[in-house]
Amino acid sequence: MGSSIYDIIRGHYQDAEIAAAEDAKNPSAMVEVEPPPSPVWSVVDTLESEETERYAKNVFDGAKRAWKDYGSLFEQYGDEYDVDPYILASIAGKESGGRADARGPTNDLGLMQFTPPTWNEVMPGYELDDRLNPELAIHAGAKYLNMMRKWAGEDMDVAVQSYNAGIGRVKKAIRTKDPLSGHTRYYLPSVISGRDQLQSWARSNTTSKGFWNKFLREMEEETK
């Protein structure tokens, strides 16, 4: 008979205690080097500016609305594409105010505000009206953000900014050191700030089972 899931969990705790004891013997092993900031921050606004704070408040309000309605879907597709579900929801808050029926000025549609060409690229075989389906929109948003991250060399900050401005425009701005202009320069910092606010709010006001379910699935796999 194999080990139970409780034996596995207990073993994980024991391993963690052993690792902590080893780190205590070797303090230098506990020092983590901070990664350098993404170069995209040189061409967008700062997190602390008044304009960013104003935009971030709107992002948070929209993201909170989206999370209340579709939090489990953000977690599901965030898990599938290995992207932060709170980032996804904050993008929805920025793009559509968290509304699944939102219509943009350039034929953008739905919760994640896809244009027809981008939708056809990301979700081939689906109708354009499917952008109004919140589950398909969140699926597409997670898939597209993952695509952006790969094109950006795994730089998630560049990926988030590129969701709005396009990867070519963002890379050119970084290369030429020419800051992005207009509302675009507030996109990344307001989404990041909105994401932090959303995570804090969600942990206090909702029951999120995404991480725990993922943990239990991994434990069950180990017992097979």
Q: In Å, how far are 22, 26, 189, 200 from 193, measured between CA atoms?
A: 36, 36, 6, 11
Q: Is 95 a catalytic residue?
A: yes
Helical segments of 82-133, H only:
85-96, 116-122
49: left (phi over 0), alpha (psi -120 to 50) or beta: beta
Which residue in the list 51, 95, 154, 221 is annotated as catalytic? 95
Joined together, the tokens standing for residue 153 give: 């060399």
Q: Count CB atoms within 10 A of the CB of residue 159.
A: 26
Joined together, the tokens standing for residue 133 give: 């389906």
Question: Mind telling me the catalytic residues?
Answer: 95
